[in-house]
Amino acid sequence: MPDAGLYIHIPFCEKKCGYCDFYSVTNRERQEEFVSGLLREIELLAPQYRHWRFDTVFFGGGTPTTLPLKAL
């Protein structure tokens, strides 16, 4: 059983900083759609990784706190 960390990219920011190469957008109109898609992807991939042990979950971005609290 492999050990692994899980990284979840939240690609939304309040503003786009000129020096930043991480993928993010400032238009947050599709946040709900993004979260639904992310949950669906997790559901689809979960069986494939059911024997893995994830000891870390990291939320990056972007700015994860741009998501509404309930979505986060």
> Contact positions toward ligand SF4, by CB under 6 A?
13, 16-17, 20, 22, 24, 61-63
- C-beta of 62: minimal distance to ligand SF4 in Å? 5
CA distance 42 to 57: 13
Q: How far is the CB of 58 from ligand SF4 (least distance, A)?
A: 14
CB 14 to ligand SF4: min, Å: 7
DSSP 37: H
CA–CA separation, 2 and 19 (whole Å): 36
| CB-nearer residue toward ligand SF4: 14 or 46 | 14
Query: With contact defined as beta carbons under 8 Å apart, do 23 and 9 qualify?
Result: yes
